[in-house]
């Protein structure tokens, strides 16, 4: 067994029961010969960007679907998610006068932890949906049975999604001179109009600089990274490669991987596996996190205290963040560590409406974001980024926002197969409000 396979001796939570061992082994061996999706050097670049954010010199914007699906990996939907993130990044950059690091929850966010192994509808009990990498969302026995072939399909969908993202962000589409165009195709509304006004200001500044002879070559491309929860360890393991430059080991399924709230057990397989790869790593921290948990995670995942290596993504809930976060920030700082602190204002604020929708209130999401900035102001640490579930589509999944989506409206366009996402307009609105918070940092 290789040094980085020690995770196989430990308990791995949230893994599917595949049953079909033969097919599984065939698929895993095929995966192990596929080309890497990302390069080690790219993961290193992201790490250096995240190190700047941890020092308070940049801000991380990480966002995308709760669960991507194979079916929704279409050119239009991928483009609109990329456009939404680019627009949010412009709003944040302009507001905060600070570089914004763009990381999609994209091109691999296909596996989900579940609170129950099964789901029962009208007296019928079937395996829970664990993400397209494992089984189908349709509530039939055939679809819900974990199918190892999906691992290979997931790899290919990730590859084609990433290819399109690379084309969009490197091929001229993300050129800052097209800042107006990113707003096209979305239904006009006050938030879009606010964006238009900002885009016009940027346009003027760019034209002025061009008239002064500044070379805008650098603006034609933008850096864009991808990330997902490293949940299915055997999938991640097969995409783990040795970097020919350095001999170091990288998980080449994404630039950044994170460990979820349910799998961050310090003695568990997920923490062990990710402790062995060199990528930048995130860990979700929920409201029950003790300082000792955070310190042990730092020692295990970042023993060298390498800048940009470790990101803590806190998801406390709007009602708890102001009580829980300051103590963690203080204790970690006093221990001499400098992880990047990012807020996930989504996962601590879930509710179910009387008409049966899993949703979140825009105001509570915003409240947790504000609590995050307050906690950092109180302790004197850096609020380094945000992690959000969003889509470029015009869905109705989260309550509130400027268009004031109410419980009844959730019935109109609720399309998520997992958690509710901010729609395009709510995402922009959030960015404008966070930009105000970032301005107060200076
Ligand atoms: C998620 O990010 O979709 C998720 C499941 O989060 P958490 O692990 O924080 O619950
Ligand atoms: Co989610």
Mean pLDDT calculated for residue range 39-66? 98
**Tokens standing for residue 44:** 């290193």
Bridge partner residues of 241 (DSSP): 250
Identify the nearest ligand to the CA of 227 by its number: 1
The pLDDT tens digits of the residues spanning 87-108 come to 999 999 988 889 999 999 999 9
12 — pLDDT class (breaks 50, 70, 90):
very high
Give the confidence band of 371 by pLDDT, cuts at 50, 70, 90.
very high
CB of 419 closer than 8 Å to CB of 129 = no
CA dihedral 266, 267, 269, 274 (to 10 degrees): 40
> Residue 402 belongs to a domain with what CATH number?
3.20.20.70
The helix/strand/coil state of 371 is helix
**Does 309 contact ligand 1 (Cβ within 6 A)?**
no
Q: Is 113 in the pocket of ligand 1 (CB under 6 A)?
A: yes
- Residue 260 near ligand 1, beta carbon < 6 Å: yes
Judge contact between 384 and 54, C-beta under 8 A: yes
Element (H, E) at 298: helix 291-301
**Residue among 65, 66, 228, 386 whose CB has most ligand 1 atoms within 8 A, to mutate:** 66
Residue 260 CA: which ligand 1 atom is closest? 8
Using most ligand atoms within 8 A of CB, pick from 316, 419, 422 the residue to mutate for ligand 1: 419
For ligand 1, whether the C-beta of 347 sits within 6 Å is yes
What's the half-sphere exposure (Cβ side, CA atoms, 13 Å) at 100?
26
d(CA 341, CA 387): 10
Classify residue 254: in a domain, yes or no: yes
For residue 237, being part of any structural domain is answered with yes
Is the CB of 66 within 6 Å of ligand 1? Answer: yes
Structure tokens, 139: 């509530």
Match 């809930």 to its residue by tokens: 317
Q: Could you report the per-residue pLDDT of 294-309, keeping only the tens digit for each?
A: 999 999 999 999 999 9
Give the confidence band of 1 by pLDDT, cuts at 50, 70, 90: very low
Q: What is the mean pLDDT of the chain?
A: 95
Question: Is 200 part of any domain?
Answer: no
- CB distance 315 to ligand 1 below 6 Å: yes
For the record, the structure tokens of 175 come out as 């050129």
Which residue has the CA at smallest separation from atom 3 of ligand 1? 66
On the question of pLDDT at 321 being above 50, the answer is yes
Q: Is residue 434 part of a domain?
A: yes
pLDDT at position 441: 73
What pLDDT was estimated at residue 169?
A: 94
pLDDT at 362 over 90: yes
Q: How far apart are CA 302 and CA 173, in angstroms?
A: 37
Q: Per the structure block, which two tokens stand in for 366? A: 């915003």
Q: Is residue 216 part of a domain?
A: no
pLDDT digits (tens, 9 = 90+) for 238-269: 999 999 899 999 999 999 999 999 999 999 99
Residue 185 within a domain: no
Residue having the nearest C-alpha atom to atom 1 of ligand 1: 66
**Does the pLDDT of residue 409 top 60, yes or no?**
yes
Q: Which of 106, 228, 261 to mutate to test the pocket of ligand 1 (most atoms within 8 A of CB)?
A: 261
Q: Is the pLDDT of residue 283 over 90?
A: yes
Determine the atom of ligand 1 nearest the C-alpha atom of 67.
3
Query: What's this model's pTM, rounded to 2 decimal places?
Result: 0.97
**Count of alpha carbons within 13 Å of 3, Cβ hemisphere only?**
8
Structural domain tally of the chain?
1
Cα(240)–Cα(36) distance, integer angstroms: 8
pLDDT of 228-240, one tens digit each?
Answer: 999 999 999 999 9
List pLDDT tens digits, range 178-194. Answer: 888 888 878 788 888 89
Residue 206 reports pLDDT greater than 90: no
- Identify the residue whose C-alpha is closest to ligand 1 atom 10: 261
For ligand 2, the distance from its centroid to the CA atom of residue 211, given in whole angstroms, is 46
Q: Does ligand 1 come within 6 angstroms of the Cβ of 387?
A: no
pLDDT, position 325: 98
Ligand nearest to the CA of 418: 2
Task: Tell me whether residue 75 is in a domain.
Answer: yes
Cβ of 284 below 6 Å from ligand 1: yes
Q: Which of 257, 344, 389, when mutated, tests ligand 1's pocket best, judged by the most ligand atoms within 8 Å of its CB?
A: 344
pLDDT at 2 over 70: no
Q: What does the pLDDT look like over 114-169, one tens digit per residue?
A: 999 999 999 999 999 999 999 999 999 999 999 999 999 999 999 999 999 999 99
* 195 part of a folded domain: no
Ligand 1 contact, 264 CB (< 6 A): no
What pLDDT is attached to residue 182?
Answer: 87
Domain that holds residue 376: 4-174+221-441
Rounded CA-CA distance 411/408 in Å is 6
CA 350 – ligand 2 centroid, Å = 10
Cα(268)–Cα(6) distance, integer angstroms: 11
144 ligand 1 Cβ < 6 A: no
* pLDDT category of residue 442 using cuts at 50, 70 and 90: low
């Amino acid at each position: 067994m290789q040094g980085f396979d020690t995770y196989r001796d430990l308990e791995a939570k949230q893994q599917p029961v595949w049953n079909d061992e033969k097919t599984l082994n065939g698929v895993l061996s095929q995966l192990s010969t596929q080309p890497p999706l990302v390069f080690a050097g790219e993961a290193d670049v992201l790490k250096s960007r995240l190190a700047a954010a941890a020092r308070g010199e940049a801000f991380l914007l990480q966002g995308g679907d709760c669960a991507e699906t194979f079916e929704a990996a279409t050119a239009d939907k991928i483009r609109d998610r990329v456009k939404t993130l680019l627009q949010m990044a412009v709003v944040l950059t302009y507001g905060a006068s600070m570089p914004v690091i763009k990381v999609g929850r994209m091109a691999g966010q296909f596996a989900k932890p579940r609170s129950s192994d099964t789901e029962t509808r009208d007296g019928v009990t079937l395996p829970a949906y664990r993400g397209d990498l494992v089984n189908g969302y349709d509530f039939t026995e055939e679809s819900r049975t974990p199918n190892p072939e999906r691992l290979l399909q997931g790899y290919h969908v990730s590859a084609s999604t990433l290819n399109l993202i690379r084309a969009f962000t490197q091929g001229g589409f993300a050129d800052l001179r097209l800042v107006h165009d990113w707003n096209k195709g979305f239904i006009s509304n006050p938030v879009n109009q606010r964006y238009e006004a900002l885009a016009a200001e940027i346009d003027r500044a760019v034209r002025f600089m061009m008239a002064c002879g500044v070379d805008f070559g650098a603006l034609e491309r933008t850096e864009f990274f991808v990330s997902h929860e490293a949940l299915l360890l055997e999938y991640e393991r097969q995409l783990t490669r040795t970097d020919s430059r350095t001999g170091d080991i990288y998980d080449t399924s994404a630039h950044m991987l994170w460990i979820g709230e349910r799998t961050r057990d310090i003695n568990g397989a997920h923490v062990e596996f990710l402790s062995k790869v060199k990528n930048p790593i995130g860990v979700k921290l929920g409201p029950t996190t003790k300082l000792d948990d955070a310190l042990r995670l730092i020692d295990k995942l970042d023993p060298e205290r390498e800048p940009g290596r470790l990101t803590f993504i806190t998801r406390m809930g709007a009602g708890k963040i102001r009580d829980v976060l300051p103590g963690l920030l203080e204790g970690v700082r006093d221990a001499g560590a400098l992880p990047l602190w990012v807020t996930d204002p989504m996962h601590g604020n879930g509710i179910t409406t009387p008409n049966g929708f899993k949703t979140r209130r825009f105001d509570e999401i915003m409240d947790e974001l504000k609590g995050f900035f307050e906690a950092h102001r109180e302790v004197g640490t850096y609020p380094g980024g945000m992690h959000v579930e969003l889509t470029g589509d015009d869905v109705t999944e989260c309550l509130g926002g400027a268009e004031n989506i109410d419980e009844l409206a959730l019935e109109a366009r609720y399309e998520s197969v997992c958690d509710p996402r901010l729609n395009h307009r709510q995402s922009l609105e959030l960015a404008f409000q966070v930009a105000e918070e970032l301005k107060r940092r200076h």
